[in-house]
Amino acid sequence: MRLSAPVYHLKRQARLLSRRENVPLHQALDRVAAKEGFASWSLLAAKAAEGAPGDSLLRRLIPGDMVLVAARPGQGKTLMSLDLAVAAMKQGSRAVFFTLEYMHADILDRFRDIGIDPADFNHLFDFDNSDAISASYIVERLRSAPHGTLAVIDYLQLLDQKRENPELMVQIRALRSFARERGLVLVFISQVDRSYDSSGRPFPGIGDIRLPNPLDMSLFDKACFLNKGEIRFQAT
């Protein structure tokens, strides 16, 4: 059975339903699942995990790639990135999630949102939410990472928020060189500028990435743009 939208978009629908009708989230999730033809949300999530979009996207990536996952807030950037991490771990690769936004428990909950039991990948998944996250920190943490490791950086625009860190362009260039040298895939969650209007264009593009500081976007190899449950993947 084909879902009407990716599971993370359906999850968002359930959250909105829960708030709007003041019902518990688990009931809202089951109601959304029922509209999709499933008896419960757990059955829907399990089915979605069989054909997760991360699997098809990962096949289009190669070691050394720098990838953007970009969208306006609430469109599923974090879940899409975790989907990619899960796809990598299914193949036996390691995955690391660097974040300046989330606690570990939050990310474990996000895994469950896409129908994944985090315990299945305990030996392959690392989480890091150090306040020191920057290009030099990421390089040091991944220096001994095996070839093919996929790392998610949450998020691009925070890397140079501290004045003592090098400017964003310098950091991304360093990470690009490191990814190619070590054969890693680096996935950057990215914000989209508020000026982007989905009524005019169904998907944002490279020119819509929010850049508080100068950055050469050709440093990235590929991009995944999300909007209203749909996905557009492209080379940059």
- What is the tens place of the pLDDT at every residue in 60-73? 999 999 999 999 99
- Residue 102: pLDDT band by 50, 70, 90 thresholds? very high
Pair 99, 153 in one domain = yes
Please count the structural domains in the chain. 2
Pair 134, 173 in one domain = yes
Pair 145, 221 in one domain = yes
Distance CA 181, CA 217 (A): 20
Pair 57, 40 in one domain = no
Pair 25, 100 in one domain = no
Pair 101, 134 in one domain = yes
In a domain, 1, yes or no: no
The CB density around residue 222, as the number of other CB atoms within 10 Å, is 19
Beta bridge partners of 209: 192
Work out the average pLDDT over 121-142.
96
In a domain, 78, yes or no: yes
The CB density around residue 141, as the number of other CB atoms within 10 Å, is 17
Pair 160, 206 in one domain = yes
In a domain, 120, yes or no: yes
Q: What does the pLDDT look like over 151-199, one tens digit per residue?
A: 999 999 999 988 899 999 999 999 999 999 999 999 999 999 999 988 8
In a domain, 2, yes or no: no
122 Cα distance to chain centroid: 19
Pair 59, 41 in one domain = no
Distance CA 150, CA 2 (A): 28
Pair 79, 192 in one domain = yes
Amino acid residing at 219: L
CATH number at residue 112: 3.40.50.300
Pair 85, 121 in one domain = yes
Domain hosting 30: range is: 7-50
Rounded CA Rg of the chain = 18
Tokens of 135: 């290009």
Pair 110, 62 in one domain = yes
Strand 230-235 relative to strand 95-99: parallel, antiparallel, unpaired?
unpaired
Q: Which residues contact 132 (CB under 8 A, 6 or more apart)?
A: none
213 close to 168: Cβ distance less than 8 angstroms: yes
32 close to 13: Cβ distance less than 8 angstroms: yes
Pair 156, 100 in one domain = yes
